[in-house]
Amino acid sequence: MDKKLSVEQFINDCYEKYYQSIFKYCRVRLGEFSEHAEDCVQDTFVILQRKLTEGEKIEQPRAFLYRTADNFVKRTVEHYSKERKRTVELTEAENAPTPPIISDNFDYDEFARILIATLSEQEQELYILKYVQQKSLKEIAEILNIQPTAVAKRVSRLRQRIKDLIYEQNFFE
């Protein structure tokens, strides 16, 4: 049997069985930072794929996934808690950029159109599948003929790219 095929099948089986419950677990454990739950789950499955590809045998995949997800949850909470509590020198605070002020006549549809137009064709396709058509990672994987973990990586990179574009383009000024 092809090792790559068996790894892919193992990951797909784990994804089918455990994705929803691990997502809920992360969302609850993250509390006020629950918007990062999907990132934690995606990172968890990426670690599973890496370990299996490196030849490591995972005897209890459910336990492995929960333990790995819990580690990501702890790191996420620690990171964002530190960010919130971070104090800065007064001179640094004075030079910090001010948050954008959105006027009452801000056109969100135009903003979205401009933002999406700056993405590559592949990024636009992924954006439409994930956020417009609201397809699951598994459905997107089937459409694109790739693994759900690869979709998770791409979605994570897409979210970061969109965040970067928003700040680079100064859309709110």
Does residue 76 share a domain with residue 111?
no
Does residue 162 share a domain with residue 128?
yes
Does residue 73 share a domain with residue 10?
yes
Do the domain assignments include residue 29? yes
Residue 34 confidence class, pLDDT cut points 50, 70, 90: confident
Q: What phi, psi does 102 have (nearest 5°)?
A: -95, 120
Do the domain assignments include residue 30? yes
- The three-state DSSP-derived secondary structure of 68-99 is HHHHHHHHHHHHHHHHHHCCCCHHHHHHCCCC
Does residue 110 share a domain with residue 74?
no
- 70 pLDDT higher than 70: yes
What is the number of domains present in the chain? Answer: 2
Spatial distance between the Cα atoms of 65 and 14, rounded to a whole number of angstroms: 9
Q: Which residue range is the domain that position 29 belongs to?
A: 3-85
Does residue 70 share a domain with residue 116?
no
Does residue 64 share a domain with residue 7?
yes
Per-residue pLDDT tens digits for 51-67: 998 889 999 999 999 99
Domain boundary among 85, 116, 146: 85
